[in-house]
């Protein structure tokens, strides 16, 4: 068993008050050493697979000489690639980026866990980029928070101030580049260095020699998605009611929408917005949707419903490490979601479920201690059989 990764030279409270969502922050030597979770050849191998999301970006020249200024001649290609793609690439000035590495290489979860002081429901995915000398994505900004963890090699990062996005931007074949920005951080990152970049913050990394970088990305709910989720939910659950106009009198304005109709629509929306239970269920479900697909794998032999009778005294239940999960209390009940599936259960399940969600394990004695132990045992059995919980000795 390798030593767990620990963040160094880093104060979580001070980071949250001074930097999170506010300003970029460099954590020099945040990790004393960094395991080689994946090498360039393995990353290239992954990018040949149909299900893996990957990109190659070629830059016009060795941009390391440039200062926050882009030029023409960038090229973006989307995977899956073939061996031929790599054979044709030049020696320098390109980068390969592969998404959801946390799904494909579960050991990389250790890197994600480093940032557990940010709620887990904010986590999106882990991306890995390999770059040759001069390779990089180009000057751009993102709408999400990211921690860049430098793996092997060195990369020069230039980062502007949050919110100061220059208006002049260039779109080149799917790449949206800032023409120029004023870097406030200009650093050559070395293995174990960590750089936090808030949303709407210009940044540009250029590889110095060959290098490999990890990006732990976070997501935030968007209002547009929220409305789409509500529409989805209503389609599945709401009985469809037609507008009725028994009140109707003869009208002289036959094309005017009358106040009764507007009130009917407004009442519908108000009733929904007052229903916290529904809003919580929708949010919980949405925020547990895995980036790619659930990595939970059901056991070969299903466990019987009465798990507490069949679980051996030395066996433990733990949460599947790659699953997306969250919980919330609603009207005296516990609502929780794992990988896009939502459960509603008695409040007495909160304590043990919360323990599972914070990485602890449960044993038979913990199940016995719950008031509705039979119902809890059934719930755990179904979570085990879906692969959301894992039984270990």
List residues binding ligand SIN (CB under 6 A): 95, 129, 136-137, 142, 146, 203, 205, 213, 215
CB nearer to Co ion: pick between 142 and 200: 142
Q: Judged by CB under 5 A, does residue 200 bind Co ion?
A: no
Residue bearing tokens 């798990």: 307
Q: Write down the least CB distance from residue 97 to Co ion, Å.
A: 10
User: Which partner, ligand SIN, Co ion, none, binds residue 205 by CB below 5 to 8 Å per kind?
Assistant: ligand SIN
Strands 146-162 and 316-319: unpaired
Binding segment (CB under 5 A) for Co ion, from list 103-111, 134-142, 223-231, 289-297: 134-142
CB nearer to Co ion: pick between 20 and 264: 20
CB nearer to ligand SIN: pick between 139 and 352: 139
User: Which partner, ligand SIN, Co ion, none, binds residue 138 by CB below 5 to 8 Å per kind?
Assistant: none
**What residues pair up with 278 in beta bridges, in sequence order?**
none
Residue bearing tokens 């094309």: 255
CB nearer to ligand SIN: pick between 56 and 367: 56
User: Which partner, ligand SIN, Co ion, none, binds residue 62 by CB below 5 to 8 Å per kind?
Assistant: none
Q: Write down the least CB distance from residue 148 to ligand SIN, Å.
A: 6
Q: Write down the least CB distance from residue 18 to Co ion, Å.
A: 21
Q: Write down the least CB distance from residue 203 to ligand SIN, Å.
A: 6
CB nearer to ligand SIN: pick between 142 and 378: 142
Measure CA of the first residue to CA of the last residue in the chain; give whole Å.
Answer: 16
**What residues pair up with 75 in beta bridges, in sequence order?**
58
User: Which partner, Co ion, ligand SIN, none, binds residue 136 by CB below 5 to 8 Å per kind?
Assistant: ligand SIN
Give the 3-state secondary structure of residue 223: helix
Q: Write down the least CB distance from residue 295 to ligand SIN, Å.
A: 23
Q: Write down the least CB distance from residue 135 to ligand SIN, Å.
A: 8
CB nearer to ligand SIN: pick between 217 and 322: 217
Q: Write down the least CB distance from residue 101 to ligand SIN, Å.
A: 12
Q: Write down the least CB distance from residue 137 to ligand SIN, Å.
A: 5
Answer positive or negative: Cα dihedral of 231, 232, 237, 242. positive
Q: Write down the least CB distance from residue 73 to ligand SIN, Å.
A: 18
CB nearer to ligand SIN: pick between 74 and 349: 74
Q: Judged by CB under 5 A, does residue 341 bind Co ion?
A: no
Q: Judged by CB under 5 A, does residue 142 bind Co ion?
A: yes
User: Which partner, Co ion, ligand SIN, none, binds residue 93 by CB below 5 to 8 Å per kind?
Assistant: none
- 49: Cβ–Cβ under 8 A, 6 or more apart, which residues? 80
CB nearer to ligand SIN: pick between 146 and 383: 146
User: Which partner, Co ion, ligand SIN, none, binds residue 213 by CB below 5 to 8 Å per kind?
Assistant: ligand SIN
CB nearer to Co ion: pick between 204 and 336: 204
Q: Write down the least CB distance from residue 255 to ligand SIN, Å.
A: 52
Rounded Cα distance between 216 and 238, Å, is: 38
The string over 377-386, giving b where at least 16 C-beta atoms fall within 10 Å of a residue's C-beta and e elsewhere, is bbbbbebbbb
Judged by CB under 5 A, how many residues of this single chain contact Co ion? Answer: 1
CB nearer to ligand SIN: pick between 137 and 370: 137
User: Which partner, ligand SIN, Co ion, none, binds residue 57 by CB below 5 to 8 Å per kind?
Assistant: none
Residues forming the site for Co ion (CB under 5 A): 142
């Amino acid at each position: 068993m390798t030593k767990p990764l620990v963040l160094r030279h880093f104060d979580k409270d001070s980071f949250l008050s001074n930097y999170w969502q506010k300003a970029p922050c460099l954590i020099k030597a945040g990790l004393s050493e960094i395991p080689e979770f994946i090498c360039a050849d393995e990353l290239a191998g992954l990018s040949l697979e149909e299900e893996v999301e990957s990109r190659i970006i070629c830059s016009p020249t060795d941009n390391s000489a440039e200062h926050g200024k882009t030029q023409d001649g960038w090229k973006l290609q989307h995977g899956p690639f073939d061996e031929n793609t790599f054979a044709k690439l030049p020696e320098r000035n390109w980068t390969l980026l592969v998404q959801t590495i946390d799904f494909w290489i579960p050991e990389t979860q250790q890197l994600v866990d480093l940032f557990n002081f940010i709620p887990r429901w904010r986590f999106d995915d882990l991306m890995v980029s390999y770059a040759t000398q001069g390779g990089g994505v180009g000057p751009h900004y993102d709408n999400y928070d990211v921690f860049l963890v430098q793996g092997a090699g060195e990369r020069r990062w230039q980062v502007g101030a949050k919110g100061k996005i220059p208006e002049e931007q260039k779109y080149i074949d799917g790449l949206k580049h800032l023409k120029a920005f004023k870097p406030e951080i200009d650093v050559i990152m070395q293995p174990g260095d960590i750089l936090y970049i808030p949303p709407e913050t210009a940044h540009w990394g250029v590889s110095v020699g060959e290098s490999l970088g990890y990006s732990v990305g976070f997501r935030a709910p968007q209002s547009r998605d929220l409305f789409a989720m509500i529409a989805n939910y209503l389609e599945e659950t709401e009985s469809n009611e037609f507008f009725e106009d028994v009140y109707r009198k003869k009208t002289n304005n036959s094309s005017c929408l009358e106040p009764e109709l507007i009130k009917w629509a407004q009442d519908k929306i108000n009733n929904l917005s007052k229903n916290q239970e529904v809003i919580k269920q929708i949010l919980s479900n949405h925020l547990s949707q895995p980036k790619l697909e659930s990595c939970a794998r059901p056991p070969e032999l299903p466990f019987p419903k009465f798990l507490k009778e069949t679980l051996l005294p030395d066996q433990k239940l733990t949460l599947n490490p790659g699953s997306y999960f969250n919980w919330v209390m609603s009207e005296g009940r516990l609502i929780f979601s794992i990988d896009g599936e939502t459960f509603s259960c008695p409040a007495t399940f909160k304590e043990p479920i919360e323990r599972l969600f914070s990485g602890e394990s449960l044993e038979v004695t913990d199940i016995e201690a719950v008031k509705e132990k039979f119902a809890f045992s059934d719930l755990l059995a179904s979570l085990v059989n879906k692969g959301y919980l894992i039984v270990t000795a």
